[in-house]
Amino acid sequence: MKNNKRFKFQVSGFFAGASCVLYLVSFISMYGCSDYFKNDYEDNTPTSGKLKVYYDEGLRSHVENQVYTFEALYGNANIELFSVTENEAVQALYSDSCEAIVISRNLNEKEKQAFSSKSYTPNPTAVAKSGIALITNINTPVKNLSYEQIVELLSKELKTKDSLNNETKMKVLFDKNNSSVMFYLRDSLLKGAAFSPDCSVLGSSLESINYVAANKNTIAFIDFAWLSDVDDSLFKANLGKIKFIPVGQKNTNDQFELPSQSSFKLNTYPFTRTVYVIKKTGEFSLAKGFETFVAGPKGQTTFLKQGLLPTKQQERSIEVKLK
């Protein structure tokens, strides 16, 4: 009996000791190693951590290149990209789904008031200028379009004549349903009026480009950013298949412009838009680091090389030595 009691005591002591060890290990894991379990979306720095960025689908190649360069320079930064419509990007920022967005407009008054009601003050930074481009098949008999003809094209039937004086009805194709291009054209050109029944939409800008490349007598409205880079594979693949249509400013029929860095800078292209990075976090965050990079020398040079107009032109110092 005495030996049995001794055995039971030893067993009980073993389990008690094991429980203490397990508790100690758990305590150390929870408190001593807490840095390994931090939330990198919240506990980040301007050059490290994780960040979700929602952006307008029309800016895809430019945003992807900016992120690629940023991550190459800062190996501890991880930026997740989400291609959406412009309004979806604003909603994502408002609902805390992300900390930064890239879109081709600033917030409107209604959106600013909504953010203000949640004690948010989003900070917009203008980083580049792009525009809405009109593209068509290389064989479409359209040389240019006035501002008034574009309004007519969007709101009712528009016919053009070819070299043989034959009339052809033009069809309209939008880049994507509820895209920023559609909202801009409806609000700025049509003043809220409905689009013509001859207007249709596909699933993406890329689908619209491919359709125009294979079919004439259709004019597609897309973000110029898709085809701004002459060295990009998409531009090269459609060279000789599609063309940009020069457009005129309002109430003038003697000057037609193509979307370009020059026409954006001179403000002679009527459908020029400003690209913004909008964030809502503090100054010491990955969102701030990304915004600063895109608005800084490397980010601005990237826009320049890809055919958009950077908002900040780099100063060039020229030294002249006189003998």
pLDDT digits (tens, 9 = 90+) for 103-131: 999 999 999 999 999 988 898 999 999 99
106 and 226 assigned to the same domain: no
Does the pLDDT of residue 34 top 50, yes or no? no
189 and 242 assigned to the same domain: yes
Predicted pLDDT at 315: 52
117 and 148 assigned to the same domain: no
Q: CA-to-CA distance for 221 and 207, rounded, in angstroms?
A: 12
139 and 269 assigned to the same domain: yes
State how many domains the chain has: 2
193 and 210 assigned to the same domain: yes
User: Is 241 within a domain?
Assistant: yes
CATH number at residue 67: 3.40.190.10
- pLDDT tens, position by position, 64-99: 999 999 999 999 999 999 999 999 999 999 999 999
User: Is 149 within a domain?
Assistant: yes
Type of residue numbered 16: A
User: Is 318 within a domain?
Assistant: no
Predicted pLDDT at 5: 47
Predicted pLDDT at 31: 41
206 and 255 assigned to the same domain: yes
113 and 238 assigned to the same domain: no
The overall pTM is greater than 0.75: yes
- pLDDT tens, position by position, 132-156: 999 999 999 999 999 999 999 999 8
Does the pLDDT of residue 30 top 60, yes or no? no
Mean confidence (pLDDT) of the chain: 86
- Tell me which residue range forms the domain holding 119: 49-129+274-310
Does the pLDDT of residue 33 top 50, yes or no? no
Predicted pLDDT at 41: 76
- Angle, helices 60-73/286-295, rounded to nearest 10 degrees: 110
Containing H/E element for 82? strand 77-84
User: Is 137 within a domain?
Assistant: yes
User: Is 69 within a domain?
Assistant: yes
Rounded (10°) CA dihedral 250, 251, 254, 257: 0
Does the pLDDT of residue 217 top 70, yes or no? yes
136 and 257 assigned to the same domain: yes
Q: Which of 113, 218, 236, 127 is nearest to 168 (CA)?
A: 218
99 and 190 assigned to the same domain: no
User: Is 44 within a domain?
Assistant: no
Predicted pLDDT at 165: 67
Predicted pLDDT at 37: 47
105 and 229 assigned to the same domain: no
- What is the pLDDT averaged over residues 193-200? 92
User: Is 31 within a domain?
Assistant: no
- pLDDT tens, position by position, 253-301: 778 999 999 999 999 999 999 999 999 877 889 999 999 999 999 999 9
Task: Give residue 38's pLDDT band: very low, low, confident or very high (50, 70, 90).
Answer: low
- What is the pLDDT averaged over residues 59-63? 96
136 and 125 assigned to the same domain: no
Strand blocks (E) in the chain: 49-56, 77-84, 100-103, 123-137, 159-161, 167-169, 171-174, 199-201, 218-223, 242-244, 247-248, 256-257, 272-279, 309-310
Does the pLDDT of residue 40 top 90, yes or no? no
- What is the pLDDT averaged over residues 228-238? 97
User: Is 144 within a domain?
Assistant: yes
Type of residue numbered 79: I
- Whether residue 295 contacts residue 125, with contact meaning beta carbons closer than 8 Å, is answered with yes
Does the pLDDT of residue 12 top 60, yes or no? no
120 and 220 assigned to the same domain: no
Predicted pLDDT at 43: 76
